[in-house]
Structure 1
């Protein structure tokens, strides 16, 4: 066991000391922590001291999360939230809300996870705490980061930092948390292109003593630095940081290594680096077994596939294409499996809750039966018949989970045994501070449902809700209240009424009212009948509402998935265009040129490549400014796209002021005419350029074409050489090379 983790020390701690030390120690050494908790659970104090037991069980819930045992963590956290709330252990309430949120997120129940994290913030604010607030904000930010909501992510990372700093350095693990939050924020600033803010963060981090920072946080920091150096185009420095990260992680944690490798490869591809820069790392991924590559690396497999296609290894290209399909199929299967597990988890939670409620309801039933037996000593048979009737009616009401069916069944059963002109069934929604009707019958006709404000100053339903007790016109103690309310509601024709709360355990879930036009029609027997029926009525309503709520959540998840699919398709379309010129991006060109050259191999047509560069563009930017330079790029891109479209060719921004085009089926004269048309159209724009020998913006073009199935890289190289010849021979001209 880890040095310092002696069970006797923890047994002698008070609750505050336990909170400060136990969870921190268990997080630092999870395996030894599990052994420690097993020993502490054997201590007599664990049996006798509720607060001590809650602290130990919270540490157990933490370990369930660390070891990815979420199905154990969720029910334990729910139970602990109830226990610690009753014990007013508000710090542990926050901790368990946070653990519950993390478990839900791990199971894909993102909405529930978000709700739990906000409950942490709410609980801390209500009880003057701060320790868990920054963690909750950081977790919310990470949740939004999963869905690439950069503005939301930035906002909550900022909230996490501000909250942590406001609490001071005395907070547990302060330096590890602040460096982690800054590192997370750094990545978002890069994505938002707010790179000027990054050096200030580096300066803050550099002032921290890294001896006080956890190993995991150091990894997060250097990962963020790698991320930043990609964005500032210092790729060699980024690569150096990648190898530093691999060295820090070591060989034992293969998952960490894989995540860092995947991030590195993704960034290389994002910034369109040459394969020569990261071929070694791609091949390192290939050396891993399939089972080691894991869920995240279908992307890296695609990168390997493109690499082998790039170097002309068709056999390996096709093998990896099959592996990529397998990865994607497995990923889809994993998504389906996680969705199924999430549904089963919700169902199990509901079933467990219902089992507890069933026991509590049975106890209530037994109390009611005993009271009935005492009141009716000389009517045993009558009491027995009454119980049988109630049980039978209860079975009918609880036979369905469909809300409409349950409501109709309840109404029909009550109408058969009680005089009613009006029947109203309500559910409580405390989070919205309303009481909402789910059934409103008048004279057998289903009327429009309605809502009542819980905080209303008058009304039968609000009085019944506040007092959580039955109100009846037969109750003398409510005579004045009923008279006053009836005077307010002058239009009502009802002279007799019963308002009854519906409870499941100690939770008020709804209200029921029966009303009649006849005065004094409801007797004690009627009230007794309703009270005996109430447990079944409550269960039936609660089950149906929960089933409806679960169905709503499922539909919400399906809607979210559809929206994410639509958003991904939109992002894919956007990513195919260069952001400034709205001409195809280099990434899109690479994909389309591969298909074009495959067509050429099949058809035997010629294939040509055009490399185009704006002459003296750096001098133009220096003279007229970058904003005006951007307008030149847009105008040139438009001319190139229009000319290439006329020959059914491809065009794209290759980088900076350089553009690329490709087409098929033309002869040498056609290629020359195409190039000269582009030069002429751009020259005729007459965009002033006083440092150009022509007095206006011009382009130089190099063309290479062949009918002998040359590789793309060879065509590009030859076209680039021709571009250089055009530049050296005076610019604003076309040079061409034909290979036969």
Structure 2
């Protein structure tokens, strides 16, 4: 069971209006509110949720008509996000994002200094958000010299923002700055980790998925198809006489050929739920969920024809004067008692037969 705080006492019981509290009582309440804000900063799953809890706390615990946090973009030129709370409505000056050249909040961001407005009607930069507002206090949200945004407090009382109250909001702004900074660091780390994960699953030469990515996807699809009873197919593609091509034309030319073949493999399954990866060296593998043997074999034949149509010269080939490929195809309904690698093993045997039969061919074998 939670115990009521000084904040809750004011918010719900309101036994004594703010203006009637003595200095000691006010200081105790402000200290309690600061502690509440610290606790709210630790709650919430997202930055927006945390900031919302903070402004809700401020608006609930103090006679602040509007409490809002307005965040800046990375260049500090525009406000891009606002969360707010309060007992009266708030109308934004213009649609987000809006430039820091507008409003008292913009002046706070441009100057980097807190702005105390005791009479909003007399301030040239004030943009009315609600006609009942009499005074406003704006504090830069800054962490180690970097400005993240502005904490905006608006009151229907002209004399609410005393030096003591402003000092408390200065402290709140510092806590918000730390919260925003931490959230952005976490976001940057997540993006970096996601990028690293993508890089670890991509082939550096061709840009398609690599062997690691294929191995992971094969296990996933094998298990999924074993449960659904659908057929899973695989094409194992090998460039004919590739070593001779490298010896005759150089590795730079060979690498460019591999990139072109990778592009073609990805293109031929465009629109399908296929997974195309470089299996190793001059081999590519196409994993085809929900595909039967006949359809996979026809796809292999189409791929062979398209490779020939590229007419990439191969002066050292014993098959043709251009690049060709041999393809082994396997398909079947996965048996959960068998390892996923059995699909590769069948395709590999089919590929061997395609090569033994003279290359530039497609051989298909069922896994059943």
Under a length normalisation based on structure 1, what TM-score does the superposition of the two structures give? 0.28
**Unaligned stretches of 5+ residues in structure 1:** 1-390, 410-433, 450-535
Give the distance between the partners of 1:625 and 1:719, measured in 2 at CA. 30
Q: Which residue of 2 aligns with 1:400?
A: 30
Give the distance between the partners of 1:435 and 1:598, measured in 2 at CA. 57
Change (3 A) 1:598 1:395: closer
- Out of 311, 328, 339, the position equivalent to 1:711 is 339
Deviation, 1:443, is 11
SS in 2 for 1:696: coil
Change (3 A) 1:552 1:691: same
1:405-554 correspondence to structure 2 within 5 Å? 436=113, 438-439=115-116, 441=118, 445=122, 542-554=167-179
Question: Deviation digits for residues 83-131 of structure 1, max 9, x if unmatched?
Answer: xxxxxxxxxxxxxxxxxxxxxxxxxxxxxxxxxxxxxxxxxxxxxxxxx
Deviation, 1:569, is 4.1
Question: Which structure has more strand as a fraction of its residues?
Answer: 2
Change (3 A) 1:594 1:549: same
1:262-661 correspondence to structure 2 within 5 Å? 396=26, 400=30, 436=113, 438-439=115-116, 441=118, 445=122, 542-573=167-198, 575-645=200-270, 648-661=273-286
Deviation, 1:647, is 6.0
User: Contact conserved, 1:398 with 1:540, CA < 8 A, in 2?
Assistant: no
Q: Which residue of 2 aligns with 1:110?
A: none
Question: Deviation digits for residues 400-428 of structure 1, max 9, x if unmatched?
Answer: 368999xx99xxxxxxxxxxxxxxxxxxx
Q: Which residue of 1 aligns with 2:152?
A: none
Question: Deviation digits for residues 232-291 of structure 1, max 9, x if unmatched?
Answer: xxxxxxxxxxxxxxxxxxxxxxxxxxxxxxxxxxxxxxxxxxxxxxxxxxxxxxxxxxxx
Deviation, 1:607, is 3.1
User: Contact conserved, 1:610 with 1:661, CA < 8 A, in 2?
Assistant: yes
Give the distance between the partners of 1:440 and 1:396, measured in 2 at CA. 21
User: Contact conserved, 1:439 with 1:446, CA < 8 A, in 2?
Assistant: no
Q: Which residue of 1 aligns with 2:145?
A: none
Question: Which structure has more helix as a fraction of its residues?
Answer: 1
Deviation, 1:602, is 2.9
Change (3 A) 1:635 1:437: closer
Give the distance between the partners of 1:399 and 1:705, measured in 2 at CA. 72
Give the distance between the partners of 1:397 and 1:447, measured in 2 at CA. 33
Deviation, 1:701, is 1.3
Of structures 1 and 2, the one scoring higher in RCO (CA 8 A, sep 6+) is: 2
User: Contact conserved, 1:578 with 1:653, CA < 8 A, in 2?
Assistant: yes
User: Contact conserved, 2:277 with 2:286, CA < 8 A, in 1?
Assistant: yes
Deviation, 1:629, is 2.2
Change (3 A) 1:442 1:687: same
- Out of 292, 299, 317, the position equivalent to 1:692 is 317
Give the distance between the partners of 2:290 and 2:166, measured in 1 at CA. 73
Query: Is 1:683 aligned to 2:308, yes or no?
Result: yes
Query: Is 1:702 aligned to 2:323, yes or no?
Result: no
Give the distance between the partners of 2:340 and 2:27, measured in 1 at CA. 73
**Unaligned stretches of 5+ residues in structure 2:** 1-20, 35-57, 65-110, 127-161
Deviation, 1:616, is 2.0
- Out of 347, 362, 368, the position equivalent to 1:734 is 362
Give the distance between the partners of 1:664 and 1:442, measured in 2 at CA. 68
Give the distance between the partners of 1:581 and 1:684, measured in 2 at CA. 20
Give the distance between the partners of 2:271 and 2:29, measured in 1 at CA. 70
> Which structure has the larger Rg over C-alpha atoms?
1
User: Contact conserved, 2:236 with 2:347, CA < 8 A, in 1?
Assistant: yes
Cα RMSD between the aligned structures?
Answer: 3.9
Give the distance between the partners of 1:704 and 1:597, measured in 2 at CA. 13
Question: Deviation digits for residues 410-467 of structure 1, max 9, x if unmatched?
Answer: xxxxxxxxxxxxxxxxxxxxxxxx9945425579956769xxxxxxxxxxxxxxxxxx
Deviation, 1:683, is 1.3
Deviation, 1:549, is 1.1
Give the distance between the partners of 2:112 and 2:218, measured in 1 at CA. 63
Change (3 A) 1:438 1:670: closer
Change (3 A) 1:442 1:684: closer
Under a length normalisation based on structure 2, what TM-score does the superposition of the two structures give? 0.53
Give the distance between the partners of 2:332 and 2:23, measured in 1 at CA. 87
Change (3 A) 1:541 1:707: closer
SS in 1 for 2:207: coil
Question: Deviation digits for residues 5-59 of structure 1, max 9, x if unmatched?
Answer: xxxxxxxxxxxxxxxxxxxxxxxxxxxxxxxxxxxxxxxxxxxxxxxxxxxxxxx
